[in-house]
Amino acid sequence: MTFDELKAAAASGEIDTVLVCLVDMQGRLAGKRFHVSNFLESAHEETHCCNYLLATDLEMATPEGYAASSWEQGYGDYVMKPDLSTLRVLPWLEGTVMVLCDILDHHTHQPVPHAPRQVLKEQIKRLEALGFSPMMATELEFFLFTKPLDQLRKEGYRELETLGPYNEDYSIFQTTKEEHVLRPLRNHLVAAGIPVENTKGEAESGQEELNIRYAEAMACADHHTIAKHATKEIAWQQGHSASFLPKWHHDKVGSAAHVHMSLWKDGANVFHDGDRPHAMSQLMEHFMAGLIAYAADCTVFFAPYINSYKRFSKGTFAPTKTAWSVDNRTAGFRLCGADTKGVRVECRIPGSDINPYLTQAALLAAGIKGIEEKLDLPPATTGDIYDDAKVPEIPNTLRAATETLRGSKMLRDAMGDWVVDHYTRAAEWEQEEFDRVVTDWEIARGFEKA
């Protein structure tokens, strides 16, 4: 929707509410609901928010240790600057449009470096300086549960029952039973300008996948964030719950957010070279070599929470190692579209709980480093990579991934110390919060027997 179209829709009474949103550290939408008259009058230029919104955890706590904002600094304001190119109708909410904002320093009006959209913007700029545009796509996997969120919360998230009772991977019959959620999700997102391709059942009971057409990197992250938000809201409207927790039960397959990547120039995929093996250009090989070499550095951005690492389990389609393969789903990186003009690389490591801006930024930074260093791509790995002892593993705990991030020269050079230190502190806090809690597992295991 253009700004002039919004004016017309407001004048006709079609639109009365504008959601003015930022993307927080966790990849969630936060912001304000404006009456459209005020947005058209002034808020389309800027509004304000507390700067703690980019220094919180999932529970909206205000941890110590952030340089960006603290009690000592008084928790001042940020400027929310609407990006009017993101203005769109939200058809599942009556009379409502939304706009995404860039975050600026209140005093200098300079971009806030650790804001997720800004982190991704910087990596896109680096690629553009090399003459390339990154094209990306993400897959959204999630679970649908029968009960609404308010009821599950009151019950302590116990006795969870998925909407589907059995593995529904590609099942048409079972997903027909879920169309009262998935059909409006597809249609509303398309009407909101999100280029949805399809939904499908995934490889577990009650598990779904939403696929969105590839787009320029920033648009891809925006689409992912809005689609995830819509999934939760539409499931709630239908009396159900949608969860993007990567591993909700130890006996169940986890949920991923696979990321597809290619680089383009002058309207063509520069990863393609029909004269080379698998139609992979030399540039693509360097880029992929960077992804593999620096996967461990980026793992916090693929798996940001304690629960994220429960997903990495043998025989679950969640990779545990950094090898690449040709169309092999046990690898961390899978070559898709081999021998076609659509050749691309899929990173299968990220979970459904990612912040897509940070994940994509980390992947692009690693790929750029591969190009800069002209890294050689090792041979493709075949067979069951879970059991291949020669292939390096990704960090298998948040604690290990945090230390790898802290010491990553590649990401410090690419993103800056400020950004790396900020998200290192976020990972530290997640670990600290978990470490102080006594879990149900510990009580059941040791209450009587210890």
Instruction: Give average pLDDT by consecutive 10-residue segment, the chain, 450 residues.
Output: 97 98 98 98 96 95 92 90 98 98 95 98 98 97 97 94 94 96 98 97 96 98 98 98 96 95 97 96 98 96 97 77 81 92 95 98 98 95 76 90 98 98 98 96 94
Q: What is the pLDDT of residue 258?
A: 96
β 96-105/17-23 pair status: parallel
Q: Which CATH number is 123-441's, of 3.30.590.10, 3.30.70.240, 3.40.50.720, 3.20.20.70?
A: 3.30.590.10
Residues in the chain: 450
How far, in Å, CA of 175 to CA of 182, rounded? Answer: 8
Q: What separation in angstroms does the CA of 147 have from each of 150, 177, 228, 343?
A: 8, 15, 19, 41
DSSP code of residue 280: B
Question: Which two structure tokens, joined as six digits, stand for 75?
Answer: 């928790």
Provide the residue ranges of all domains of the chain, joining segments of one domain with +.
Answer: 3-111, 123-441
Q: Name residue 81's beta-bridge partners.
A: 102
Residues 6+ apart with CB under 8 A from 450: none
Question: Which two structure tokens, joined as six digits, stand for 305?
Answer: 């929470």
Q: Which CATH number is 3-111's, of 3.90.1150.10, 3.40.50.300, 3.10.20.70, 3.30.420.10?
A: 3.10.20.70
- Residue 140, judged by CB atoms within 10 A of its CB (0-12, 13-18, 19+), counts as buried
87 backbone dihedrals φ, ψ, rounded to 5°: -60, 130
Read off the pTM.
0.96
Q: What is the pLDDT of residue 139?
A: 96
* 290, 295, 301, 307: CA torsion to nearest 10: 160
Q: What is the pLDDT of residue 248?
A: 95
Q: What is the pLDDT of residue 214?
A: 97
Q: What is the pLDDT of residue 74?
A: 83
Nearest alpha-carbon partner for 163 in 152, 228, 155: 152
Q: Name residue 22's beta-bridge partners.
A: 30
How far, in Å, CA of 47 to CA of 40, rounded? Answer: 12
